[in-house]
Structure 1
Amino acid sequence: MAAEESRYLLGGPAPGSDRRVRNEKLYLATFAAVLGPLSFGFVLGYSSPVIPELRKISDPELRLDSNQASWFGSVVTLGAAAGGILGGYLVDKVGRKLSLMLCSVPYVFGYIVIISAQNVWMLYFGRMLTGLASGITSLVVPVYISEVSHPKVRGMLGSCVQLMVVTGILGAYIAGLILKWRWLAVLCSFPSCIMLFFMSFMPETPRFLLNQNKRSEAIAALRFLRGPHADHEWECTQIEASVQEEGLNLSEFKNPSIYRPLLIGVSLMFFQQVTGINAFMFYAETIFEDANFKDSRMASVVVGSIQVCFTAVAALIIDKTGRKVLLYISGFALGWGPVPWLVISEIFPLKARGISSGACVLTNWVMAFLVTKEFNDLVGFLTSYGTFWLFSAFCCLNVTFTAFYVPETKGQTLEQIEAYFRRS
């Protein structure tokens, strides 16, 4: 019986279970959650087709100069940094599911402000609100997916977060070919509304419910996610063994089981942004215009399509190759896009998951702001060649950091990963 339970824990079918049905429900929950990253991707991609249009618009109250354009592109990251802090609080206080449902509000309201904008400050405010929602989303969705998944498919499902982000970016690029900026904002508001509808039918994660002493609800969630024939009681017992009811206090950050994964997570987020990817994605069309491409909009669509294709490849192979192998591949879509978000959703102990994830998301978006806001200044100071050589140097440092400090988490339960940091 122990061998059968071990196979089940690693994602295999429990005796007598219908694996297809179990996975369908799990995939449905994942689909509902990743509509959040799709919304997040539309936020990131929105600025690329819109900035050239707003720089040429006839209305002087809305027309952007070079400095205003850089703020329009980068201010979303300040909202996202605040969203990371707020998300770290919400995810532990109200749960993973409700946090996702709540972040639909600033998404929609932010786009309403943009659509009705009469001046540049309204544009900034709308971008800040959509950024706030993006920050909450980027924290909560990886946590939700990692906690509802079983180890055999957790890597693939976790990688779908970044896949949907780049799909949203590509969607904004393509829609920007035919839609004016106000109508593009209308389109970008749809995914968050659909997410709110679907998430209302999805369960809370079993780990959060058990941490709230709601065992019967956790069993019901496992029955939804694993199917009626799986051994819900046994899995619930395994999770309960690692759930610690006492709260987290600051003195516990001296414990290696908490500070080591936190340092790894913060470093991964730092290195992800200093590759310069968001500077490129926010200003893709402007960059291609400056490079004298005949059709800068279509060039941006091509770049977005490549991102989607290779992120999909990463999602398909990550549970076979492991996390570290993909991080040795310097390409962003294959490694440094999806993997850091997956790793930070796996390595934190349950009681520190909210605050540690919040610190990582805050680091990510503060660095994103610095890189995107100062990109034009870097180009002016170092030239385009020097700026991209600098980003390349950070890519090399990424690989070195991965080799020495990032643990491999492939095929392990969240409880096993937590035990690894307690032992080390």
Structure 2
Amino acid sequence: METRQESRPLLQTEELGGAAGHKSEQDAYLDKVQNKKLYLATFAAVLGPLSFGFVLGYSSPAIPNLSKISDLRLRLDPTEASWFGSVVTVGAALGGVLGGWVVDRIGRKLSLMLCSMPFIFGFTIIIAAQNIWMLYLGRVLTGLASGVTSLAAPLYISETSHQRIRGTLGSCVQLMVVLGIMGAYIAGLVLDWRWLAVTCSVPPTAMLLFMCFMPETPRFLLSQGKRREAEEALRFLRGPEAPAEWECAQIEGASLEQDSHFQLSDLRDPGIYKPLAVGILMMLFQQFTGINAIMFYAETIFEVAHFKNGDVASVIVAAFQVIFTALAAVIMDRAGRKVLLVVSGVAMAVSTAVFGVYFRLSSPTPTNSSGLEFGSLEPALKDTQLDLSWLALACMGLFIAGFAVGWGPTPWLVMSEIFPTPVRGLASAVCVLTNWSTAFLVTKTFQDLMNLLSSAGTFWLFSVLCALNIVFTVFCVPETKGKTLEQIQAHFKGTG
């Protein structure tokens, strides 16, 4: 308590100086912050999402190789190839649950270091695979690591950043995921599946080495009663000019109001159940946008447009995602989370609606219950399909751009911002589990939806869900731009 009382006048007299009447203590403090080492710590952390992206991208170039390999023990038939691609989501869901427990027990830093091991072991097993089950095991392990990473990396970045650049740095998580996907696609153009696995094991190895030299997050250290270590971490992250003890006192003061042990009865606390509801719904709505459907159709759309090289087409799609995810990272702290989510929702709602029109015009004409056609479009299809291909490409580009600029990175960023420290690991684990489980269900039921509603009907359904995203964002998602984590938590409690 003595240190906290002394830090306030120290900041006011020495740091505010003549600007005391024009700047708040917080602004005066942030003016003294140097971000170089914070950027370094963020770089070390986002090597995890980069590894995650390589895992997601690996199956696309590897499956064609493994489907034609001469070794019958490793050759994948269509069913086995489907499992090879999708079993990652099972491992990731388990990793999300495990990650929630791990980050609260050993910390954010050690969790990232620990999850590098199943990344490395998983790819090593794939490299040394002698049968299909070894390939599956390697994919499950890398999926497990991806699940932990998708939880631990956003938390680490959020808890080490300050409010002026937290949105930009937090958006780098999704940016590195799509960079990893694109990197796997590009490497897959020239490498076979074994050497591609070797390449994919490089980012997690680098993360393990870099994270050795990075600090634990100050908020986790304070939650463990390690105030001196928290101040040292802040000095590393903020530079020598900023009085780290002042920020430490601010965090500590807000933390004193929180019970460090979560109990089920705490779910009655609006400071817990409100952000948890927002986090879960954001993860559900992210998957309900239809992102997997668009990516499923990507290669087909390129073929209709007479772009026959599917591998290069995949690289183009991934590059498009990278460009607009990078744009989101640049403007996140200027435009705000809600604005980007609304813009993203509008772009996706429009593009999926027009996609439905495209498929309605390009598909065989449905019939009613009496067998009568609603209107023959078959003769026109042969003449207009080439002309309509531009519409499909435009819709895909608009959708990917919309998703990348808002609903791709923002749910992960908001998840890392809105939960109180005592439940941050558990609540984030619930959100990650929701995301991966929904992704699995949407992917698994997508063909059933196509059969039930037709291609056009399915995409119109996605358009309606994207419109609901907008309504949900406007009325339920808080704007977290420019706020400390403690101020965000006070908002949910109704005290700030």
Query: Is the deviation greater in 108-117 or in 1-10?
Result: 1-10
Other-structure match for 1:265: 279
Q: Distance in 1 between matches of 2:451 and 2:68?
A: 23
Q: How does 1:291-370 map to 2 (within 5 A)?
A: 293-329=307-343, 330=345, 331-370=402-441
Q: Which letter maps to 2:322?
A: V
Query: Is the deviation greater in 238-247 or in 285-294?
Result: 285-294
Q: How does 1:18-417 map to 2 (within 5 A)?
A: 19=33, 22-243=34-255, 244-278=258-292, 280-281=294-295, 293-329=307-343, 330=345, 331-417=402-488
SS of 2:261's partner is: coil
**What's the offset of the Cα at 1:313?**
0.5
1:418 paired to 2:489? yes
Q: Which letter maps to 1:414?
A: L
Segments of structure 2 that go 5 or more residues without pairing to the other structure are 1-11, 346-401
**Matched-pair contact (CA < 8 Å) for 1:103–1:136:** yes
Higher relative contact order (CA 8 A, sep 6+): 1
CA offsets, 1:113-135, max 9 Å, x none? 11122222221111111010000
CA offsets, 1:190-217, max 9 Å, x none? 0000000000000001000001010100
What is the TM-score of this pair, normalised by structure 2? 0.80
Q: Distance in 2 between matches of 1:376 and 1:56?
A: 26
Relative distance call for 1:10 and 1:356 in structure 2 (3 A) is farther
Relative distance call for 1:384 and 1:285 in structure 2 (3 A) is same
**What's the offset of the Cα at 1:404?**
1.3
Q: Distance in 2 between matches of 1:179 and 1:287?
A: 26
SS of 1:152's partner is: coil
**What's the offset of the Cα at 1:286?**
7.4
**What's the offset of the Cα at 1:379?**
4.3
Q: Which letter maps to 1:134?
A: S
Q: Which letter maps to 1:106?
A: P
SS of 2:109's partner is: helix
**What's the offset of the Cα at 1:383?**
4.5
**What's the offset of the Cα at 1:7?**
4.8
SS of 2:262's partner is: coil
CA offsets, 1:302-351, max 9 Å, x none? 10000000000000001011000110123110000110000010010111
**Matched-pair contact (CA < 8 Å) for 2:59–2:84:** yes
Q: Distance in 2 between matches of 1:10 and 1:128?
A: 46
What is the TM-score of this pair, normalised by structure 1? 0.93
Q: Which letter maps to 1:401?
A: F
Supply the RMSD in Å over aligned alpha carbons. 2.2
**What's the offset of the Cα at 1:378?**
4.2
Segments of structure 1 that go 5 or more residues without pairing to the other structure are none
User: How many residues in Structure 1 have an aligned counterpart in Structure 2?
Assistant: 419
Relative distance call for 1:179 and 1:284 in structure 2 (3 A) is farther
Query: Is the deviation greater in 323-332 or in 191-200?
Result: 323-332
Query: Is the deviation greater in 1-10 or in 302-311?
Result: 1-10
Other-structure match for 1:9: 26
Q: Which letter maps to 1:267?
A: L
Q: Which letter maps to 2:26?
A: L
Other-structure match for 2:394: none
**Matched-pair contact (CA < 8 Å) for 1:49–1:285:** no
**Matched-pair contact (CA < 8 Å) for 2:29–2:242:** no
Relative distance call for 1:40 and 1:283 in structure 2 (3 A) is farther
**Matched-pair contact (CA < 8 Å) for 2:29–2:243:** no
